[in-house]
Amino acid sequence: MFIRVAEGRAPVVREIRAAAPLLAGLTAPTTARGPWLTAALGAAPAPRVRHRAVVVEHHRQGRPAGLALVTSRRELRRGLPTTVVRLLGEGGPPGPPGPAPRRLPAASPEVAELLADGLVDLLAAVRGPWELSLTGLPMGDPVLRALSARLGTGSRFRTVRARGLVDHLDDLGEVTRSTDPVALERWLPVFLDHRPAGARLVDLRALARVHAATGVLEHAVVRSAGRPVGGLLTLLEGPVRLPWWGFGDVVAGTAPGPPHVSLGAASWTVSP
């Protein structure tokens, strides 16, 4: 097997596209698939962020068997310029609250070990201090486990249990539901007026339209006297419904979601 690193927007987009069968086979969530990742790539300010794909493949220039999509930028830590490495998508357009939004896809335990090796090599090549922050991953991620073993003392896991939205629109009145991308355009400005705090309008508009075009976005609206009083956008992953964001009383309905796992480390604390 081979490990390589692709750097830059266009090469990383090519790796995302090449990894589509891998992501589909591992049933990655919408937020870890091509359209969403490409939008997250476009949302980052290019002059300040570097994009890389750490790729494990069986044959040179073959389809990825493992993939880690990361960004890096210089930030101040302890008063010093520090390279902070994160997963692509962190700090980008917010996805459905609840499920772990990111993945480090690996086709086998062996690939997971090699992907961890590639990430350690990437950190070793950083000039000056670095900080690693990999968040929003599911429990038991084999790449995180292998990476923690390589970083040794100073790497730290953190687990949080997120809360997801619950669809309470039927309690508000008669609901109109549709996955028609043309019908979405009537209500999209209303949803965007109630977008999650800190989210860029242009990013969410593009994501909504892309996923509506592929039939995996449902928009639901409740009207009173012809005016919308509640609404919800929901991503459809097969039989699974993932409420994304909404307005009206629907935003108050939440329920516990599955745990998210994060791994953090820094050059001044680890001792492999």
DSSP 242: E
Which among 102, 108, 100 is positioned nearest to 87, based on CA atoms? Answer: 102
Beta bridge partners of 119: none
Q: At what angle do helices 109-124 and 142-151 cross, to 10 degrees?
A: 40
Cα separation, 214 vs 144, in Å, equals 32
CB 87 within 8 A of CB 134: yes
Looking at this protein, which amino acid is placed at residue 33? R
For residue 104, the 8-state DSSP code is: -
Interval 125-179: pLDDT, tens: 999 999 999 999 999 999 999 999 999 988 999 999 888 888 888 888 889 999 9
Looking at residue 106, the DSSP 8-state letter turns out to be B
CA-based torsion, 204, 209, 214, 220: positive or negative: positive
Residues contacting 46, CB < 8 A, separation 6+: 9
Q: Which of 46-50, 232-236, 240-244 has the lowest mean pLDDT?
A: 46-50
Query: Cα 265 vs. chain centroid, distance in angstroms?
Result: 20
- Would you say residue 251 has pLDDT above 70? no
What local confidence, expressed as pLDDT, does residue 141 receive?
96
Amino acid (1-letter code) at residue 262? S
Can you say whether residue 89 is alpha, beta or left, with left for phi > 0 and alpha for psi between -120 and 50 degrees?
left
Per cent of the chain over pLDDT 70 is 96
Separation between Cα atoms, residue 93 and residue 103, nearest integer Å: 16
Q: Does an H or E element contain 72, and which? A: strand 64-77
Which residues, other chains included, contact 92 with Cβ-Cβ below 8 Å and sequence gap of 6+?
Answer: 39, 40, 43, 44, 203
pLDDT reported for residue 84: 96
pLDDT at site 39: 83
Q: Is 167 helix (H, G, I), strand (E, B) or coil?
A: coil
Let me know if 255 is exposed, middle or buried by CB neighbors in 10 A (0-12, 13-18, 19+): exposed
* Contact residues for 96 (Cβ-Cβ < 8 A; gap 6+): 30, 31, 164, 165, 234, 235, 242, 243, 244
Could you tell me if 134 and 122 are in contact, meaning their C-beta atoms sit under 8 angstroms apart? no
* Residue 256 to residue 162: CA distance in whole angstroms: 6
Name the residue with higher pLDDT: 49 or 250. 49
Query: Is it the case that residue 249 has pLDDT exceeding 70?
Result: no
